[in-house]
């Protein structure tokens, strides 16, 4: 797999200074965690699930979650499980190229049960998404993964979701996150990334963010994200990749605020209709939220519609300026300060080093844009079929 592989080869040569590198489900977790990009959730009840997954792959989706939890009604779970098993078996029979596939489950017993029912198709599953994860409930999920992996020889990775009320309420949050950190440390080789369940977090206060605000404007939830990154997203060797929360809108209603996309980046020929499409679909809000995700230490994002993927991936490409700064910082031993090659900022070798190392990993997976290529061009290309 490789990001932007669905884009015409000649066009890719124009877009990239350094091209994205290939990866597969057997790569190291630190590579796969960044490569997830926009992770598309899909209910396991979809009757044409196999075709939906294939279509998503052709559109540049690199990671998908087949959901058996909140997107499925309680009385539909057995049918949803049967459908997921049948559809994944069909995908294995077809032998087409697929995204990284995960299953979001409800309870630990589903891990071993689903893997057994999938048979040889279990090799398509990269791992499981573990909902409502706490230090108390999470151990059983991770033990089920360990046992099933040992029994089958499959490497099954975990993506725990921080979304329970105990993680939201201030009086229990610190203890919960510290308990989770200790539990995840014991299973470090199994943990791919930590996900944020912003919908459930908002539900704890009876809130739902409107499409013209970002999750960072919802201050009770923003404070939770801050604490999750503080405890679980550190770069001192104890942390994990933390992914951006879900963007749940895909069509516009009446707008209260002005669009969040400036006109000037879209002034080039033929770009104005792209800007209008983004605004009409409320994707200007998504673009702003992804910017804020990155600024707050989050990598990738949960999405619920294929139209969201291009924006997340275009914003994941490292700019030529960022790459130049990171290369300069990593090329200095012993510290010190220097002006950037773009002559617009100060680069400090020691405090900026961790940022530069993280950025270079993203550059490996998503590539580095050519010097004159803008986000608009990358977005236009990523959205092509």
Cα separations (Å) of 339 from 33, 321, 344, 346? 32, 13, 7, 5
Instruction: List, in sequence order, every beta strand (DSSP E) within the chain.
Output: 16-18, 38-43, 63-67, 100-104, 125-130, 157-162, 195-196, 244-247, 301-303, 337-339, 346-348, 368-369
Q: Please indicate if the annotation marks 284 as binding a ligand.
A: no
DSSP string, 169-205: SHHHHHHHHHHHHHHHHHTGGGB--BEE-HHHHHHTT
Closest CA to 302 of 228, 379, 375, 248: 248
Contact assessment for residue 64 and residue 53, using Cβ atoms and an 8 Å cutoff = yes
Contact assessment for residue 60 and residue 8, using Cβ atoms and an 8 Å cutoff = no
For the record, the structure tokens of 349 come out as 């070798």
Binding-site entries for Mg(2+): 200
Binding-site residue numbers are: 200
């Amino acid at each position: 797999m490789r990001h932007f592989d669905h884009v015409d080869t000649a066009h890719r040569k124009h877009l990239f200074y350094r091209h994205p590198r290939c990866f597969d489900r057997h790569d190291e977790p630190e590579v796969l965690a960044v490569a997830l990009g926009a992770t598309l959730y899909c209910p396991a009840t979809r009757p044409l699930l196999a075709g939906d997954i294939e279509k998503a792959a052709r559109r540049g989706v690199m990671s998908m979650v087949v959901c058996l939890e909140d997107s499925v009604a309680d009385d539909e779970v057995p049918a949803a499980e049967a459908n997921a098993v049948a559809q994944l078996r069909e995908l294995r029979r077809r032998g087409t190229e697929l995204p990284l596939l995960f299953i979001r489950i409800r309870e630990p017993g589903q891990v071993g049960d689903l893997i057994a029912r999938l048979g040889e198709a279990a090799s398509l599953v990269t791992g499981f998404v573990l909902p409502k994860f706490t230090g108390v409930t999470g151990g059983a999920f991770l033990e089920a993964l360990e046992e099933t992996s040992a029994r089958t020889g499959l490497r099954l990775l975990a993506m725990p979701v921080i979304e329970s009320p105990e993680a939201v309420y201030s009086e229990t949050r610190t203890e919960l996150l510290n308990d989770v950190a200790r539990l995840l440390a014991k299973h470090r080789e199994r943990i791919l990334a930590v996900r944020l369940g912003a919908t459930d977090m908002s539900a704890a206060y009876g809130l739902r963010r409107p499409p013209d605000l970002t999750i960072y404007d919802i201050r009770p939830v923003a404070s939770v994200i801050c604490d999750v990154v503080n405890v679980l997203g550190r770069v001192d060797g104890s942390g994990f990749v933390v992914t951006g929360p879900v963007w749940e809108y895909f069509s516009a209603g009446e707008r209260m605020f002005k669009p969040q996309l400036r006109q000037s980046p879209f002034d080039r020929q033929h770009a104005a209709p792209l800007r209008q499409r983004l605004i009409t679909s409320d994707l200007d809000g998504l673009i702003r939220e992804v910017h804020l995700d990155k600024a707050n230490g989050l990598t990738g994002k949960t999405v619920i519609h294929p139209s969201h993927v291009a924006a997340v991936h275009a914003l994941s490409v490292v700019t030529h300026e960022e790459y130049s700064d990171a290369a300069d910082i990593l090329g200095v031993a012993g510290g010190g300060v220097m002006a950037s090659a773009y002559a617009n900022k100060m680069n400090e070798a020691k405090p900026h080093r961790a940022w530069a190392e993280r950025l270079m990993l993203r550059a490996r997976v998503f590539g580095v844009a050519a010097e004159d290529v803008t986000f608009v061009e990358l977005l236009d290309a990523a959205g092509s079929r």
